[in-house]
Structure 1
């Protein structure tokens, strides 16, 4: 037997503050109306994403297992439909359910979605910083992206300064100019190869050096913030 749950404009199913062994919400028609599972404890929640209504309430919902196993991309809309807005606990529960079955990739995607959803609640400067972290390293969940940015900026600087060597500050003391290591000197905030301090670009090439220095600091800061966040999740 399959029941149809419908309450247009109201709550189709309220099972809040319950302790349930198994709850099956699958097959049949899509739920019409809100689904309220706040504060419930469920051992096995069988939830077909196709049955989900446009409004759910999942605050403090705890479940041990979530079935059937579906990609994070299909589960994520469930969290974004919460009538209470951004509910961090719901993201943590979904993350934990994926980790319990060893799907770490899906768990990381849920955490990435959590950070992106949280960003929408921040003031403009917080959203700006969030966008930078997202683009640079995916909030620490896509660290290889930083390497791609670094290589791209290194290529731009190496070509630009390789075609137009900046003049040395002290010609008699300056080392041989190397466009690759000069660009690395600009990009890496801590490491020094002795190139940046020995040469002084002019005009547009000086502007490019400022841009590379700024991008280097942004990359370094976002990488540290992202790695710190990722490590703290372990």
Structure 2
């Protein structure tokens, strides 16, 4: 229909005249859209008339910079899908009970400011595949019962959701901006509220993604799911952000910093759930996240549930100073029946520096298995009771800042819930050795061998004891010299005492040297040395017993020394 045709209501005629003169069409104040259901005909515009007025303005010779409508109630579904508008379209304080559609449209910019849209399911705002040169701004708009659909949109400026409120509870979608491209920032600040599931998967954002002060509420599952999102600048989750549900960014890439500051994330278990609930339903999922600068969790960050950061890559520092609470028990569940849950999953993390100084002791398992960092900084006072350390690699560890000494670090290694493995001990010894702490490195290596004893069989355990007592597992080979000297001293005394009664000539008719008890003891004790005394006298009685003891001890000491010298006992 032609917008100039007869049949327009006074309100619609007011809009037509205002837009023809480039003015804002004002049907009422912008701040009372929540009461729009009670507005009368003086503030009501039919959606089909509004569409005709917009299309007519786009086709006219005098194209305005923007079309702005304030304080109106839109009756019916406003469909501007696939239209090309060479101006900005701004609806301010508008009330609607049907969807607003601009899907596949090309617009300079779109503003839905302080609007109130109530639907009974489906899309409330459909801007899928829309293209704008400027912003798509939904500041302070409230959507009830439907979804804001932005998938595939190409937004040249900012996507602004500041103070917006989208309520679509029951686990349904609130804002779907999957595969959306944003030329500048995505702003979900200043009380932005999502009641349902917000989705940003695959979005490409040139600037910041900012959730400062946002509230994301979805007890039925993910509050935010943003797999493979690319943030070209910084990610901010602070300023009092509250998330009830999981906050998931698996495989995301952040080109700047990622800051989790003053924020509370996670959700309580569903008391009506049938059976155990998966830990992945809660907490923060940043598995495979890449941060090209620093990733930080401040002391004002609180999470109920795990931080899942397996495979994350941080070019700078990964710093965790926040608080992680275990998922509360479900009704009827006993604490003693629950295995330690993973609270901080850093498996396979790659970072320059890892700082683990949480505000309180983390009540669960901290898993750094297969992680690789250059420097580890932690704090003994808040070490977790449960760790997983296998194949955790670091070049340096700051014990001074941690308030830890070697015995404390050995206790730290003993907290590994997977039990003994040699690599964590070897890694700590290697870091100490690189720092010039050779004595501490040896102490750790010896402690590792002692703990290894618990996983050995009976005979291997005996050999382990022999290595410890004789050569200190190759780190104290001088112990063998002490044992040899002691047995030589005792042997010399025994043989001197037993000669000649229990040391009789092997061949009485053969010439032999004068008996020397020291040389005789040496021949029996050290198998690789032969002073040719042992063959001239045959021991009997006590002398024979001591000779057999000397042979056994000699072979044990000799084998241990050879193993130590050839590196079979220890690893450098």
TM-score computed with the length of structure 2 as normaliser: 0.39
Distance in 2 of aligned mates of 1:73 and 1:224: 30
Out of 358, 373, 386, the position equivalent to 1:42 is 373
Q: CA deviation at 1:27?
A: 7.2
Q: CA deviation at 1:10?
A: 2.0
Larger radius of gyration: 2
Q: CA deviation at 1:197?
A: 0.6
1:3 matches 2:322: yes
Out of 440, 445, 453, the position equivalent to 1:106 is 440
Q: Which residues of structure 2 form unaligned runs of 5+? A: 1-298, 300-320, 327-334
Q: CA deviation at 1:61?
A: 1.4
In terms of fraction of residues, the more strand-rich structure is 2
Q: CA deviation at 1:11?
A: 2.5
Counterpart in the other structure of 1:176 = 514
Structure 1, residues 152-182: CA drift from partner, whole Å, max 9, x if none? 1111111111122112223441211011111
Q: Which residues of structure 1 form unaligned runs of 5+? A: none
Question: 1:75-86 to 2 correspondence within 5 Å?
Answer: 75-86=409-420
Out of 542, 566, 571, the position equivalent to 1:204 is 542
The answer as to whether partners of 1:71 and 1:106 remain within 8 angstroms in 2 is: no
2:538 alignment partner, SS class: coil
Q: CA deviation at 1:37?
A: 1.0
The answer as to whether partners of 1:167 and 1:199 remain within 8 angstroms in 2 is: yes
Distance in 2 of aligned mates of 1:137 and 1:126: 16
Distance in 1 of aligned mates of 2:478 and 2:325: 46
Counterpart in the other structure of 2:528 = 190
Out of 423, 428, 453, the position equivalent to 1:89 is 423
How many residue pairs get aligned? The number is: 234
1:38 alignment partner, SS class: coil
Greater shift, 167-176 or 23-32, is seen at 23-32
The answer as to whether partners of 1:141 and 1:230 remain within 8 angstroms in 2 is: no
Q: CA deviation at 1:95?
A: 1.7
The answer as to whether partners of 1:63 and 1:93 remain within 8 angstroms in 2 is: yes
What value does the CA root-mean-square deviation take over the aligned residues? 2.1
Structure 1, residues 91-130: CA drift from partner, whole Å, max 9, x if none? 2221221121111111122222222222322211111111
Distance in 2 of aligned mates of 1:68 and 1:114: 19
Structure 1, residues 169-206: CA drift from partner, whole Å, max 9, x if none? 23441211011111011111011111111111111211
The answer as to whether partners of 1:4 and 1:28 remain within 8 angstroms in 2 is: yes
Counterpart in the other structure of 1:167 = 504
Counterpart in the other structure of 1:223 = 561
Q: CA deviation at 1:230?
A: 6.8
In terms of fraction of residues, the more helix-rich structure is 1
1:196 alignment partner, SS class: coil
The answer as to whether partners of 2:391 and 2:424 remain within 8 angstroms in 1 is: yes
Question: 1:17-32 to 2 correspondence within 5 Å?
Answer: 17-26=348-357, 28-32=359-363
1:120 alignment partner, SS class: helix
Q: CA deviation at 1:208?
A: 1.0
Counterpart in the other structure of 2:205 = none
Q: CA deviation at 1:231?
A: 8.9
Counterparts in 2 of 1:16 and 1:27: CA distance versus 1, 3 Å: closer
1:176 alignment partner, SS class: coil
Greater shift, 33-42 or 150-159, is seen at 33-42
TM-score computed with the length of structure 1 as normaliser: 0.90
